Chain A
C-alpha cells in the first residue's frame, strides 16, 4: 500500500515536471521577440532589455530552461506586464475563487445527479434509455458560456432573482483570508456576507454543473442498474430489505465511488469550463484573469495561469486516487495484490 502511494506520488511529480516543460515550450512558440511580449505593449527599450535579462533570453536554451525550472521551484511563475505584479501574486487571489466555483458546482452536480440517476435506474425502460442518451448529448453540445449567458439573462436580468455578476454586492465582500468568499464570510462571522456570496455563486455553479450533470446522471444510473442486477442485491432482498434500503445501503456506495471517479476525470473539463463561466459572470477568478490577460496580450500571465491549472489538475487526480483507495476496499486490496 505504501509502495503504491509512493509510486502514485512519484508519477504525479513527474507529470507536473512535464506540464512545466510544456509551458516552457509554449513560450518558445511566441512569434517575434518574446522579451517585447513579456515587457508589455507600452514598454520602453530599457524595459524590454530588462525583461530579456530577467528571462535569460540571451542565454542558451538549456540554460534558459534550467533557469525557468529553478524559478518555478521558488514559486516564480513569471511577471504580468498588465498588472505589474508577479503572476504568482495575482493567482493567489484569483485561484481560490475558481476553486470555490468548481467545488460548489461539483457538490451541486452530485446532490442532483445521484437521486436523478437512481430514479432513472429504478424506472428503467426503453423510453428512459432514449431520454438519458438525448440529455447526455445535449449536455455535451450546449456551450457552457452560452448557457451561462442565457441563465444570466433569464434569472438575473429578467426575473431579478439573483445578482447579475461579480462575487459580492457593494460593501459585502468579506475580508480576504482564503480568497474563497463562502469560507471568508463564515470566518468573518457574517451571515449577510455569506448569503450574498452564495447568491452570487448560484447561477455560475448552475451553469457550470449542467454539462456534467448529464454525464454523472448517466453514470449513476448504469452503476445502479449494475448493482441491482447482482447476486448480492438479490440476497439483500431475500433478507427482507426494502427497495429504499437496497438502494441507499447497497447500491449508493458503489454509485458514489464511481461518481467520484467520473468527477475526477471530468475535473479538467470543469476547470476549462469554469474559466468561461467566470468570464461571463465577471467573477474575479482565474477565468476573468486570463480573459483580461488575453485582452491585454499579456502572454506570460496567460502561461502562468495555464501552468498552475495544469499542476492543480494533476494534483487533484492524485487526491481522487488516494481517496478512492481509502474508501473502496476492492481498490485497496487490488493495489495490494499488484504492489
Chain B
C-alpha cells in the first residue's frame, strides 16, 4: 500500500467511443477518494456518470479510456488485462442501478455471490460458506437456504442485497454504486442506502455513490462532485455545497430536490430553469 496517498486518484480522465471521431463522452475528469471516504457523484441523467464509473476499471470495451486512474498507487489505464481483473472485484467493486437485471436469471444466487472468491482460487466449499455469511450479514433472512434459489425468487430490495453481497464478498476497498436505489421502492431505497453506509463504516470501505438525486446524498456522502455534460463542475464537502453552491447548475440541481419545508403550491424548479437563469444573466 502506498503510504499517505489517496486510495483512488483520477486525473484528466477522458472517454471516447472507439473508432469514432465523435466528441468525447467524458473529459478532464479529476477527483480523488481517500480510504474509507464516501464521495457522491451527482448530475443529470446522461451527464456521463456511469461512463466515469465504468471507465475506472474499463468495463465497457466499446470505449477508449485515457488519462490516469491510480488505485492504491497502481496505474489502471493501460494496465495488463490480468492486473485489471485482479483489481475488479477484490479492489474496486461495482453495483448497478437495476438489481433485477444485474443477476443472471439462470444461475443460483449462491454461485453468483461466491463467484468473486471462486475465480480467485478459494476452495468451493469455503467460498460458499463465505458467500452465505455475506448474504446473512447484508440482511438476507434464512441465507443458507435461500442462497440455493434463483434470482426470480427474490424481491427487488432483496436482490440489491444479493448484488451487494456479491460485490463485497471479495473484500474490496472501494465500492462504486451506480444509482443503486433508482429502480427500487422508496421504502426499500432507504434500507439499501443505510446498508451501504453501515458497511462503509464497519469495513472501512470507501464509496463512490453515483446518483441524479441530490436528496439522498446529504446523509451519506462526505463530499460531492457535480457533473454536467461529461465534465465536473465542482467538487466540495457536502454541507458546504448544500449551504452555498457555487455553480448555477448545482444550484439548479439543489432547487429541483423536493423539500418538505417548501411553501405549498410552489413549483419545483428544473435544472433547465436554473440554466436558463444563468443564460439570462450572462446575456445581461
Interface residues of A (CB under 8 A from B): 230-232, 234-242, 245, 249-250, 253-254, 257, 328-330, 333
User: B57 — which chain A residues lie within 8 A by C-beta?
Assistant: 238
B104 on interface, CB distance cutoff 8 Å: yes
Closest B residue to A242 by CB, please name it.
B85
A-B pairs with beta carbons under 8 Å apart, 17 shown = A234-B54, A235-B94, A235-B102, A236-B104, A238-B57, A238-B89, A239-B88, A239-B166, A239-B170, A240-B87, A240-B90, A241-B115, A245-B119, A250-B107, A253-B106, A328-B106, A330-B105
In the complex the two chains form, is A231's CB within 8 Å of B102's CB?
A: yes
Partner of B104, one of A240, A250, A257, A328: A250
Interface pair A254/B106, CB less than 8 Å apart: yes
**Which chain A positions have C-beta within 8 A of B115?**
236, 239, 241, 249
The answer to whether B101 touches A239 (Cβ under 8 A) is no
Main secondary structure of the interface of A (DSSP, over half): helix
Shortest distance between the CB of B179 and any CB in chain A (Å): 12
Q: 6 nearest interchain CB pairs? A: A240-B89, A231-B101, A240-B88, A238-B94, A329-B150, A239-B89
Contact B94–A240 (Cβ < 8 Å) = no
A240-B166 CB under 8 A given contacts A232-B103, A234-B96:
no
Q: Is the CB of B152 within 8 A of A240?
A: no
Q: How far is the CB of A152 from chain B (nearest CB, A)?
A: 42
Indicate whether B93 reaches chain A with its CB closer than 8 angstroms.
yes
Does B59 lie at the interface of the complex (its beta carbon under 8 Å from any beta carbon of A)? yes
Q: Which residues of B sit under 8 angstroms from A237, Cβ to Cβ?
A: 59, 88
Contacts of B90 in A (CB 8 A): 240
Taking residues whose C-beta sits less than 8 angstroms from the other chain, chain B's interface range is 20 to 34
CA of A198 to CA of B87, assembled, Å: 50
Interface residue from B93, B98, B119, B150 paired with A238 (Cβ < 8 Å) = B93
Return the chain A residue nearest B89 by Cβ.
Answer: A240
**B119 to A235, Cβ gap below 8 A?**
no
Which residue from chain A places its CB closest to the CB of B94 in the assembled complex? A238
Closest to A334 in B: B152
Residues of A contacting B96 in the complex (Cβ-Cβ under 8 angstroms): 231, 234-235
Which of chain B's residues 82-116 have a Cβ closer than 8 Å to chain A? 85-90, 93-96, 98, 101-107, 115-116
Which of B60, B85, B103, B105 contacts A240, CB < 8 Å?
B85
B163 at the interface (CB under 8 A from A): yes
- Are B106 and A234 touching (Cβ within 8 A)? no
Q: Mark B51-66, 1 if CB is under 8 A from A, else 0.
A: 0001001011000000
Quick one: which of A234, A239, A241, A249 contacts B107, CB cutoff 8 A? A249
Which of chain B's residues have a CB closer than 8 A to the CB of A230? 101
Report the Cα distance A257→B106, complex, angstroms. 10
Give, as a whole number of angstroms, the nearest-CB distance from B61 to chain A.
9
Closest to A256 in B: B106
Complex formed: what's the CA distance from A278 to B98 in Å?
53
Instruction: Provide the residues of chain A in CB contact with B119, threshold 8 Å.
Output: 239-242, 245
